[in-house]
Chain A
Amino acid sequence: MVKFNWFTLDNGLRVIVHEDKTTPMAVLNILYDVGARDEDPNQTGFAHLFEHLMFGGSVNIPSYDEPLQRVGGENNAFTSNDVTNYYITLPAVNIETAFWLESDRMLSLAFSEKSLEVQRNVVMEEFKQRYLNQPYGDVWLNLRPLAYKTHPYRWATIGKELSHIEEARIEDVKAFFKKHYNPQNAIMVVGGDVDTEDVKKLAEKWFGPIPAGNKYTRDLPQEPEQLEARRETVTAKVPLNSLYIAFHMAARIDEEYYTTDLISDLLSRGNSSRMYRTLVKDKQLFSEVHAYTTESMDAGLFIVDGKPVAGVTIEAAEAAIWEELEKLKNEMVAVDELTKVKNKTESTMMFSEMSLLDKAMNLAFFELMGDAEMFNIEVSRYLGITPQHIQRQAQQLFTKQNSSTLIYLAE
C-alpha cells in the first residue's frame, strides 16, 4: 500500500506527494504525456531526440546536470512510444534544487543550435549502437510496421530511419516544446523524506508561475482489426535463426490486459513456465523462448519469440509454439498453476515497493491512466482472474488471423 497526497496547481499541473521517511533521499519525477506515437510520420524519433535536448540548458539555467550533481543528485530520463519520463534522485535536504531545475525547463528551453547538433549525433550513435550494430537489434524496426499498418506504433521510439533525426531543425524543436511541454500535459510526483505542505509551497513557488499552455488533445488513427495472417522473412548477419510472433491485444487500461499479462506469465515466466519447460527443457527445440506484452496505452502487442536449436526447422519451431498456444485455448488452466502466477505477481509488487523511484514512477504512470490510486488495487485486478477468463482470452488472442510472424534467417 503506497500512501500519497494529491493536488493540482492553477495552471493544471498535477502533483502527487508520497512521504517515505525511511530514506534520507527524495525523488522528483515528471512524466510528460507525449511519446513517439504523437509524432509526425515524416519526423519520427522526435520525442526521444527532444528528451536529449531537455538536458541542453533551459531559459535561465545554462547547464542542467552540473548544479544537480553539485548538490549530490542524479537524474535520467526515458522515452517510450507512449510517454516521456524524467527523474531526479537527490538528498532530501536539497530538494529545492530539483524544483528549480525542472520548473525552468518546463518554462522554456535555451534552444541552442550547438546542443541540437551534438544531440543529433549522439542519438544517431545511439541508433547505431542499439538497433543497427547488434545482432537482432533491428527486430522492432521490422516487427512494428508488420503488425501496425495505421497506428503510429508502427514506428519505434528511436524513429523509422536515421535521416529523420539528421533532418531535425530548431524550429521543429520549438514547435514540439510548445505543443507538449506545459503544466497541463505533465504529472509530477515528489517522494521520499518530504512533507506535503513543503512540497505544496515549493510547487507553487517554482511551477505556479508557468503559463498553462494549450492542452494537447490526442487523436490518433486507431489500428483496424487485422483480417489475415502476416509474415515476413529477413535474411540477416545473425548467428542463429530467430522467430517472433506478434498478436494484437488490449490497451494497458483495459480489463483484458490483466488476463493477457497472466497468460504471458503462464507461458514464460520462470523455470516452471510452460514454454520454458516444454520447448527448452523437454522437447529441446529452443535455446530460449519468451512471451511478453508491450504494455501499451493504446491497443498493444503480445509477443512470443524464440531461438530454435541448431537443426530445428523454422516450421517445426513455429508449430511447437502454436501447440502451446492451442493448449491454452483448448484446455482449462489448472487452479494451482494460475495461483502460481498470481503469487508471483503479488510478491513482485511487494518487492517493487522497496524502491522509492519505482513507487514514484508507478504513481505517475497510474495517474496518467486515470487515477494514481489504481496502483494500490493493481494486485486485486489480477487476483480475480479465473481459468475461464484465461481460456476465453487465449481464444481471442491466438488466431492466425491476428498474428504477424517475423523470421530471421542466419546468412
Chain B
Amino acid sequence: MLDRTLTPEFNPIEHIKLIAPGHIKLENDCNLYWFNSGEQELVRIEWIFSNLRFDPAKPLLNIAVNTMLNDGTNSLTGAQIADAIDYYGAFLQVDYGFDHSQVTLYCLNKHLKHTLPVIKDILTQSIFPEKELNTFIRNQQQKLQVSLQKNDFLARRAFNKALFGGTMYGISPDIEDYAKIQRDDLLKHFKLMYQPNNCTMIAAGKIDDDILKEITLHFDKDWTNNSIPDITQPDFTEAEQLFNYIEKPDALQSAIRLGTKLINRTHPDFPALQVVNTILGGYFGSRLMANIREDKGYTYGIGSGMSSMKYSGAIFIATEVGADVTRQAMAEIEKEIKILQTELVSEEELSLVKNYMLGSLLGSLENVFSHADKFKNVYLSGLDFEYYDRYTEVIRNITAKDILTLADQYLNFDQFYRVIVGKY
C-alpha cells in the first residue's frame, strides 16, 4: 500500500556543468565569444557596449541613442531596416542597461547572410533622423506619462534616485528632459560609444566553422576605431533623507520599496549574501512571502533582490500591499530583517534554501542561450567561470552562523532608504 505521507527519496544536485565559450579577438579589438550547442539551426548574437560617462545635464542621451539605432542609417531608412529583419523572420532588439547597452539579433542560420549586413549598417552608419527623433520624443513622453501613474514605477524611481542620484543608476527623467534631446549630441555619442574597441560580441546557438566565419567576416572589416571612449562614471550623490513618502489619496494599494547600497558581484561575500537574500525574500517560500502573503494576506507578492552593477550594488525589498495595511507591512518587513540578524536559521530551512538555489542554478542552464547568459553575468563584472565554482561551494558550505553575521554586517535597517507610494 502506497504511503503518501512519506517523501520520496531524493538526490543531491551535482554535475552543474557550464559550457566554456570559444574566443577570438578581431583585428579591430572587438572581442567575440561564441557558444556552440543545440539542435536547432539558429543563433542569438549580442553586440554589447560599455556606456559612456554619464552626463547629468543630458541624462537621456544613452537611452535615446540605443533606442533609435534601428531608426535609419546612411543607406537604409528605419522602414527598410524593419523590412529586412522581419522578412527573414529575425528579431532585432536594442536594450540599454546601467552599465552596458546592446543590440541583439535572433536569426535562423540560413538567413544570417541577409541580416548581418543590416546590423553592421546600424552599428556603423546610424544617423538618427530628425523626424524619427521627434517621434521618439513624443512617444516616450506619452509612455512616461502612463508609467508615472503607476505606484510601483514611482517607488522604484524614487528609490534608485535616493541611492544613486546623478548617475545612470539613479536616472529619473521628467517629461521635459525628453524635449531637450538634440540630434547632434546623439551623433557624437553614437560615434564615441559604438566602436569595436568598446564592443563585446557574444554568439550562441548552432555555430559551426562556416557560421563563425560568416560572423567574423562582417565585423572585423570596415569597422574601425576612431578614439578611446571614456567609460568612467561620476560619483553618486546619495540622498540625505532616508524616508520618502509620495502620497496618493485614492490609492487602493501602496507600493513599498526599501533597501540599501551593497557590495557587487566582485566582492567575496556576494554569493553568501545571495543566500541571505534568498532566505529573506528570494523565492516563493521565503520569509517575506510566508509571513506577508501566505500568513497575513497583505499582498499578491513580495520579494527581495540584489542588483550588481559595475560600480555598486544594492539589496531591496519591493511589494504592493493593501493601502490600509501599509504600516503593518512595513513593521513586518523590519521584523523579518531583525530576526535574520538575531536568530540562527534552522538547519531544516537552510538545507532547503541550499537545495533550492542549486536546483535553480541547474535549471537556469536550460539551453545554449542560458549558458551564454551565465557567461555574460560574470564576464561583464570582470570575473570568469570560477565564480560559479565558488558560488556552489559557498552555498554548500555556508552555516547558520555565517548568515547571522552577514545579515548583521550588511543589513542595517536603520540606514535603509524607504520609499512608500500610496497611503501611510
Most buried by B among A25, A99, A205, A354: A354
- Specify the chain A residue showing the minimal Cβ separation from B150: A134
- The tally of CB-CB contacts under 8 A between chains A and B is 224
Question: Are the CB atoms of B363 and A89 closer together than 8 Å?
Answer: yes
| B373 CB to nearest A CB, Å | 13
| B37 CB to nearest A CB, Å | 8
Question: Are the CB atoms of B297 and A125 closer together than 8 Å?
Answer: yes
Contacting residue for A284 out of B5, B135, B297, B363, CB 8 A: B135
Count the B residues whose beta carbon is within 8 Å of the partner chain — how many? 76
Q: Which of B302-344 contact A (CB under 8 A)?
A: 320-322
| B314 CB to nearest A CB, Å | 23
Known: A117-B297, A126-B300. A100 touches B4 (CB 8 A): yes
Question: Are the CB atoms of B139 and A71 closer together than 8 Å?
Answer: no
| B234 CB to nearest A CB, Å | 32
| B138 CB to nearest A CB, Å | 6
Question: Are the CB atoms of B5 and A61 closer together than 8 Å?
Answer: yes
Q: Is there a chain A Cβ closer than 8 Å to B381's Cβ?
A: no
Q: Is there a chain A Cβ closer than 8 Å to B226's Cβ?
A: no
Enumerate chain A residues within 8 angstroms of B250, measured Cβ to Cβ. Answer: 237
Question: Are the CB atoms of A309 and B15 closer together than 8 Å?
Answer: no
Q: Is there a chain B Cβ closer than 8 Å to A330's Cβ?
A: no
Question: Are the CB atoms of B142 and A120 closer together than 8 Å?
Answer: no
Q: Could you tell me the distance between the alpha carbons of A209 and B298 in the complex, rounded to whole angstroms?
A: 39
Question: Are the CB atoms of B87 and A340 closer together than 8 Å?
Answer: yes
Question: Are the CB atoms of A74 and B360 closer together than 8 Å?
Answer: yes
Count the A residues whose beta carbon is within 8 Å of the partner chain — how many? 82
Question: Are the CB atoms of B87 and A336 closer together than 8 Å?
Answer: yes
Known: A100-B7, A240-B145, A271-B78. A69 touches B106 (CB 8 A): no
Question: Are the CB atoms of B284 and A129 closer together than 8 Å?
Answer: no
Q: Is there a chain B Cβ closer than 8 Å to A387's Cβ?
A: no
Q: Is there a chain A Cβ closer than 8 Å to B393's Cβ?
A: no
Enumerate chain A residues within 8 angstroms of B139, measured Cβ to Cβ. Answer: 280, 287-288, 309
Question: Are the CB atoms of A69 and B5 closer together than 8 Å?
Answer: no
Contacting residue for B252 out of A65, A104, A132, A343, CB 8 A: A132
Known: A65-B285, A125-B300, A343-B87. A350 touches B150 (CB 8 A): no
- Specify the chain A residue showing the minimal Cβ separation from B140: A287
Q: Choose, from B38-46, B160-168, B396-404, the stretch at the interface.
A: B38-46
Contacting residue for B297 out of A25, A60, A118, A351, CB 8 A: A118
Question: Are the CB atoms of B363 and A270 closer together than 8 Å?
Answer: no
Q: Is there a chain A Cβ closer than 8 Å to B415's Cβ?
A: no
Question: Are the CB atoms of B298 and A121 closer together than 8 Å?
Answer: yes
Question: Are the CB atoms of A346 and B8 closer together than 8 Å?
Answer: no
Most buried by A among B87, B150, B320: B87
Enumerate chain B residues within 8 angstroms of A36, measured Cβ to Cβ. Answer: none
- Contact mask for chain B residues 36-77; partner A; CB cutoff 8 A; 1 contact, 0 none: 001111100000000000000000000000000010000000
Question: Are the CB atoms of A310 and B86 closer together than 8 Å?
Answer: no
Q: Which of A310-368 contact B (CB under 8 A)?
A: 310, 336, 339-340, 343-348, 350-351, 353-356
Known: A133-B252, A350-B40. A97 touches B8 (CB 8 A): yes
Q: Choose, from B25-33, B186-194, B261-269, B351-359, the stretch at the interface.
A: B351-359
Q: Is there a chain B Cβ closer than 8 Å to A211's Cβ?
A: no
Q: Could you tell me the distance between the alpha carbons of A347 and B91 in the complex, rounded to whole angstroms?
A: 9
Contacting residue for B142 out of A94, A209, A287, A356, CB 8 A: A287
Question: Are the CB atoms of B299 and A135 closer together than 8 Å?
Answer: no
Question: Are the CB atoms of A97 and B283 closer together than 8 Å?
Answer: no
Q: Is there a chain A Cβ closer than 8 Å to B380's Cβ?
A: no
Known: A93-B11, A128-B253. A350 touches B362 (CB 8 A): no
Question: Are the CB atoms of A91 and B252 closer together than 8 Å?
Answer: no
Q: Could you tell me the distance between the alpha carbons of A277 and B82 in the complex, rounded to whole angstroms?
A: 10
Q: Could you tell me the distance between the alpha carbons of A344 and B90 in the complex, rounded to whole angstroms?
A: 7
Q: Is there a chain B Cβ closer than 8 Å to A96's Cβ?
A: yes
Q: Is there a chain A Cβ closer than 8 Å to B366's Cβ?
A: yes
Question: Are the CB atoms of A280 and B4 closer together than 8 Å?
Answer: no
Q: Is there a chain A Cβ closer than 8 Å to B85's Cβ?
A: yes
Question: Are the CB atoms of B363 and A90 closer together than 8 Å?
Answer: yes
Enumerate chain B residues within 8 angstroms of A346, measured Cβ to Cβ. Answer: 89
| B313 CB to nearest A CB, Å | 25
- Specify the chain A residue showing the minimal Cβ separation from B284: A65
Q: Is there a chain A Cβ closer than 8 Å to B2's Cβ?
A: yes
Question: Are the CB atoms of A71 and B355 closer together than 8 Å?
Answer: yes
Question: Are the CB atoms of B2 and A209 closer together than 8 Å?
Answer: yes
Q: Is there a chain B Cβ closer than 8 Å to A152's Cβ?
A: no
Most buried by A among B78, B298, B356, B360: B356
Question: Are the CB atoms of B297 and A272 closer together than 8 Å?
Answer: no
Q: Which of A190-215 contact B (CB under 8 A)?
A: 205-206, 209
Q: Is there a chain B Cβ closer than 8 Å to A380's Cβ?
A: no
Known: A117-B297, A133-B320, A239-B145. A353 touches B7 (CB 8 A): no
Q: Is there a chain A Cβ closer than 8 Å to B143's Cβ?
A: yes
- Contact mask for chain A residues 133-147; partner B; CB cutoff 8 A; 1 contact, 0 none: 111100000000000
Known: A135-B149, A277-B79. A129 touches B87 (CB 8 A): no
Q: Could you tell me the distance between the alpha carbons of A136 and B150 in the complex, rounded to whole angstroms?
A: 11
Most buried by A among B40, B146, B285: B146
Question: Are the CB atoms of A91 and B293 closer together than 8 Å?
Answer: no
Question: Are the CB atoms of B352 and A347 closer together than 8 Å?
Answer: no
Q: Is there a chain A Cβ closer than 8 Å to B245's Cβ?
A: no
Question: Are the CB atoms of A61 and B359 closer together than 8 Å?
Answer: no
Enumerate chain B residues within 8 angstroms of A277, measured Cβ to Cβ. Answer: 79, 82
Q: Is there a chain B Cβ closer than 8 Å to A41's Cβ?
A: no
Q: Is there a chain B Cβ closer than 8 Å to A35's Cβ?
A: no
Q: Which of B345-376 contact A (CB under 8 A)?
A: 351-353, 355-356, 358-360, 362-363, 365-369
Question: Are the CB atoms of A70 and B4 closer together than 8 Å?
Answer: no
Q: Is there a chain A Cβ closer than 8 Å to B83's Cβ?
A: yes
Not counting A74-B359, A288-B142, A339-B87, a sample of 17 additional A-B residue pairs whose C-beta atoms are within 8 angstroms of each other reads: A66-B285, A71-B359, A72-B359, A74-B283, A97-B8, A118-B296, A121-B296, A122-B299, A123-B300, A125-B298, A125-B322, A134-B150, A272-B85, A310-B138, A344-B86, A354-B368, A355-B366
Residues of A within 8 A of B (CB): 22-25, 59-61, 65-67, 69-75, 89-91, 93-94, 96-97, 99-100, 103-104, 107, 117-123, 125-126, 128-130, 132-136, 205-206, 209, 237-240, 269-273, 277, 280-281, 284, 287-288, 307, 309-310, 336, 339-340, 343-348, 350-351, 353-356
Q: What are 22 pairs between A and B in contact, CB < 8 Å? A: A22-B39, A24-B362, A24-B365, A65-B284, A69-B284, A69-B353, A71-B355, A118-B296, A120-B297, A122-B293, A129-B299, A129-B300, A134-B150, A205-B2, A209-B2, A340-B89, A344-B89, A346-B89, A347-B107, A350-B108, A351-B42, A354-B369
